Amino acid sequence: MKLLLDTHVWLWMALAPERLGADSRSLLADRGNALFLSIASAWEIVVKDARGKLELPMDAPAYLRSRVARSGAELLNISLDHLFALSSLPDHHRDPFDRVLAAQAKVEGMSLMSADARVLAFPILTIDARR
């Protein structure tokens, strides 16, 4: 299974794994599943860190460089097809980072793992990270 991780899910993997449900922890640990972190999530982490809205053990660039490879996640770039898919998503969630993740999951046929109810309501494959 290809899992696109919402930003908070990727952060929780290392910083607060207890926030993830048992089923989600199993999916993340299963080497048969491919994990992906969107460049949009890396962007969101840098922005939130710069605004003081995120507590990381080091600055965001150093954290991302050190944790991406160790997390087992592959970076997923944003393509034009991902951006074009934004127009097919409902407007119930306006966060641009989450909308890009939903569009990427839709285009790539990935399951988006999130604990955000508004993300889970998108008409795409999703996994509730709280379970």
Q: What is the pLDDT of residues 58-92, one digit of tens each?
A: 999 999 999 998 999 999 999 999 999 999 999 88
Structure tokens at 113: 């793992």
Over residues 91-130, the pLDDT tens digits come to 887 899 999 999 999 999 999 999 999 999 999 999 999 9
Q: What is the pLDDT of residue 94?
A: 83
Tell me, what DSSP letter sits at residue 111?
A: E
Pairing of strands 73-76, 34-38: parallel
